[in-house]
A = this chain, B = another copy of it.
């Protein structure tokens, strides 16, 4: 550890906004100081209650995050928001929109807000979001909202770090429930039926309930459905209440085993990331040559892979032939 991260870590633990901001930038940029800093802060983590929030574009997640943050502030809780957009700069509009909408809290020292965007197809965003959550946890934020746009694998990864995951659905977005990805159904602890003043809301709730009845109950309980109209701040108290009930049900049994399962997952993702980093950065030429020999059919891909991985010490797959 360096003296630089020592005092930096101390400032973060005191909740210093500039120190936290600098640390989040370091995490996002893969700065070399991010790791020793997080190592130093790690023992101070594990106290925040992390709420994940995901759903398709246009379901009103940001407005809802705003409402939740305001409600928790009214309950004297300190709040951090991490808004993650796994899509590329091509659709950068959403993030900008979020940044603007979230300015409501910008002058309130109790709410720390940060947007993070994707950097490339080879991921790392879910890891960065997880690191950002650790950082806000160490900084003493009691409630951390992780908000992400979309319903794919990337988004599921982002909210995996959460203690409680809200999946936001709205009526009138086509065959909403049918197209809900199975992965999302499995991570939802609470369904938020936002825009519930729309005429099709009742039908959607019924649909959702019948899908949930088919799903195996986890921990003996099926996800609650909470109806909200975020633009009018309706249903927000009920949502906070549902989150609280969920928190109480989770506070005793299985907490450690859930933590262990999360870190197993984290270790696997980290292993994948390291291997890719090593191939793309450290061994780019070797990788290029291997791909060329396959493309011209000089070698088959399996032999080329074995030779390549041998050279960077990835375990060679046992070939029983």
Residues of chain A whose beta carbon lies under 8 Å from any beta carbon of chain B: 1-2, 32, 35-36, 38-39, 42-43, 45-46, 56-58, 87-88, 90-91, 121-122, 150-154, 172-176, 178-179, 181-183, 185-186, 214-215, 256, 259-264, 266-268, 270-272, 274-280, 282, 287-288, 290-292, 294-297, 300-305, 308-309, 312-315, 317, 319-321
With the chains together, A259 CA to B297 CA distance in Å?
11
What B residues does A304 contact at CB under 8 A? Answer: 263, 267
What B residues does A271 contact at CB under 8 A? Answer: 275-276, 279, 305, 308-309, 314
Number of identical monomers bound together in the oligomeric complex: 2
A193 CB to closest chain B CB (Å) equals 15
Cβ B186 vs Cβ A88 within 8 A: yes
State which of B154, B178, B268, B277 has its C-beta within 8 Å of the C-beta of A153.
B154
What B residues does A2 contact at CB under 8 A? Answer: 321
| Known contacts A58-B178, A87-B183; 20 further A-B pairs (Cβ under 8 A) | A32-B321, A35-B321, A38-B300, A38-B302, A39-B302, A42-B301, A57-B178, A58-B175, A150-B181, A153-B153, A256-B296, A260-B288, A260-B291, A260-B295, A263-B290, A271-B308, A272-B275, A278-B315, A312-B315, A313-B315
State which of B174, B262, B314 has its C-beta within 8 Å of the C-beta of A58.
B174
User: Interface on chain A toward B: helix, strand, loop, or mixed SS?
Assistant: helix
State which of B154, B173, B267, B282 has its C-beta within 8 Å of the C-beta of A291.
B267
Cβ A320 vs Cβ B32 within 8 A: yes
State which of B46, B122, B264 has its C-beta within 8 Å of the C-beta of A288.
B264
Residue of B nearest to A319 (CB): B35
Cβ A280 vs Cβ B309 within 8 A: no
What B residues does A215 contact at CB under 8 A? Answer: 90
State which of B173, B185, B260, B275 has its C-beta within 8 Å of the C-beta of A315.
B275
With the chains together, A179 CA to B61 CA distance in Å?
14
A202 CB to closest chain B CB (Å) equals 18
With the chains together, A237 CA to B256 CA distance in Å?
59
Given contacts A46-B297, A153-B153, contact A181 B87 (CB under 8 A): yes
With the chains together, A56 CA to B175 CA distance in Å?
10
Cβ B88 vs Cβ A263 within 8 A: no
What B residues does A287 contact at CB under 8 A? Answer: 264, 267-268
With the chains together, A39 CA to B292 CA distance in Å?
17
6 A-B contact pairs sorted by A residue (CB < 8 Å): A43-B297, A90-B186, A261-B291, A271-B308, A271-B314, A312-B315
A43 CB to closest chain B CB (Å) equals 6
Cβ B267 vs Cβ A305 within 8 A: yes
